[in-house]
Structure 1
Amino acid sequence: MSGTISKLTNPSAQLTMYSRQSPMRPLSRHWLTQRFSLSPAFHYDNKVIQRAKDAMKRQADAEYRPAAVAIALAERNGELQVLLTKRAMHLKHHPGQISFPGGKVENTDTDIVETAIREMEEEIGVTAKREDLLGTLAPLPTVSGYLVTPVIMFVDADYHPVIDSNEVDSLFEVPLAQFLRRDAITKQPFLVRGNTYHIYAMCFEQHLIWGVTAQILHALSQQLSLN
């Protein structure tokens, strides 16, 4: 799943850049397991939720379709890395956007966790076991009509990706600590279909991370905030 706005005029040019802060100390699997279990859940921005509800009112099918994304974390040298994908450029919806591996729930999936695990393996060839599950964030409704559940899981740092070129252009990693920096993910004005919206976004190296992906990462970062 990816950012929910399909038409965006030159997003990289619109993003307000910020000065980099000193990187935080590395975040380990042990640290995250303790921190996540002791942290109260963080609720999504009410304006984001309302936009999704308003969009659903304009659709003939007023029911959200359940979906899941995998927040996959690999630990290297005591530091957790978040796996992110760049969607294939030929896709009809959200081409080239940064997203988590994920997709809609299939009838054969036993639960939302299986959906996330299956989609990750299908898209990037990375596997996970249920015992490596950390937990989930609250489901997030999107303007495209999905109710997306982020599933947080650990994966082997020595994974060997197998990219499905029909869905994914590339796979890359970002240190989890990058998302937890103060004001790393901020609301930015985006011009969408002639209207200006304030949408969560951040830049990492050459990548623009925005929309649903940034909204989920912002919620996770607020839940784990060290500030």
Structure 2
Amino acid sequence: MLTVDLVKSALRRLPPVDHPPGPERSRAGVALILAGPTHELSICFMQRVARTGDRWSGDIALPGGWARVDELRLRDTAIRETREEVGIRLDPDQHLGDLPAVDIVRGRGSDVTTTGIVGPSVFYVGSALPSLEMDPGEVADAFWLRCAHLYTSGNLTSLCRPGAPVARPAVRVDHRVIWGLTYRVLVRFSDLVLGEQSPLIPDSPG
């Protein structure tokens, strides 16, 4: 069972996480925001607006986005983007820790190139689920999802995109799925906190 104490303990075991500086649009920060009673936690997700030319158009994601040049800590990026996208004002005291970066890649199979990193930061905002105020220019929907939903085997599925050689593991959320980069962040979080008890299937980038 996922609890706040379990999350805190797992994050304390990590060495300090360093997200080195990089070129513009090569570093992104996302917020994995936990809320709810400590034994019935939920995570905040959003659905990006459909936009031509956006590789993540319409995807389910964690609040976050590209770092500004002056944002040395991706945690600061996650805090800013969360306020802008879903209206939650994260307090530094609510920060539990940072996860190692997840690579952003282009290409498929053996032809994969790393183009940047996503630095996930974990927060717990209390036993109540804050209301979400969406930026309509960026966010089509925003919602809280019970962690138990993520770890229920009946909600685990796979997604095969047009032109992709293999199906990718995913989590079903009503008529939508969590997959790709956001799914890999969830796997990293779940593997750290739950270890071998995590039911999420690892996913290779690309």
Structure 1 residue 71 corresponds to structure 2 residue 6: no
Aligned letter for 2:182? T
Q: Are 2:15 and 1:37 equivalent residues in the alignment?
A: no
Unaligned runs of 5+ in 1: 1-24, 41-61
SS in 2 for 1:85: strand
TM-score between the two structures when normalised by the length of structure 1: 0.68
- Identify if the C-alpha distance between structure 1 residues 195 and 182 changes in structure 2 by more than 3 Å, giving closer, same or farther: closer
Corresponding residue number in structure 1 for 2:97: 135
Tell me what 1:4 maps to: none
Change (3 A) 1:215 1:113: same
- Mark the CA change 1:91 to 1:159 in structure 2 (over 3 Å): closer, same or farther: farther
> 2: distance between equivalents of 1:106 and 1:63?
7
Cα displacement (A) at 1:184: 6.3
Deviation, 1:38, is 4.5
- Is contact 2:168–2:180 with CA below 8 Å preserved after alignment? yes
Q: Secondary structure at the match of 1:138?
A: coil
In structure 2, relative to structure 1, the CA distance for the partners of 1:183 and 1:141 (3 Å cut) is farther
**Alpha-carbon contact 1:64-1:141 (below 8 Å) kept:** no
CA distance in 2, matches of 1:63, 1:110: 12
- Work out the percentage of aligned pairs sharing the same amino acid: 26
Counterpart Cα distance in 2 of 1:136 and 1:111: 10
2:187 to 218, 221, 227: 218
Corresponding pairs, count: 180
Cα root mean square deviation, aligned: 2.9
Instruction: Name the amino acid aligned to 2:160.
Output: F
Letter in 2 for 1:88: V
1:146-190 residue CA offsets vs partner (Å, 9 max, x unmatched): 31111111124352322101100111111223334569657x462
Q: Tell me whether 1:190 sits opposite 2:151 in the alignment.
A: no
Decide which of 148, 164, 179 is 1:177's aligned counterpart: 148
- Is 1:147–2:122 an aligned residue pair? no
Give the CA deviation at 1:114: 0.7
Residue correspondence of structure 1 range 18-57 to structure 2 within 5 A: 25=1, 27-38=2-13
Once the 2 structures are TM-superposed, how far is the Cα of residue 201 of structure 1 from its aligned partner? 1.2
Structure 2 gap ranges (5+): 16-22, 107-114, 198-206
Q: Bigger relative contact order, structure 1 or 2, given CA contacts below 8 A and separation 6+?
A: 1
Instruction: Indicate how the Cα distance of structure 1 residues 160 and 179 shifts in structure 2: closer, same or farther if over 3 A, else same.
Output: closer
1:63–1:101 distance in 2 versus 1, CA, 3 Å: closer
Contact 1:28/1:75 (CA < 8 Å) preserved in 2?
no
Q: How does 1:82-161 map to 2 (within 5 A)?
A: 82-90=43-51, 92-93=53-54, 94-144=56-106, 145-156=115-126, 157-161=128-132
Equivalent position SS for 1:103: strand
Contact 2:28 2:117 (C-alpha < 8 Å) held by counterparts: yes
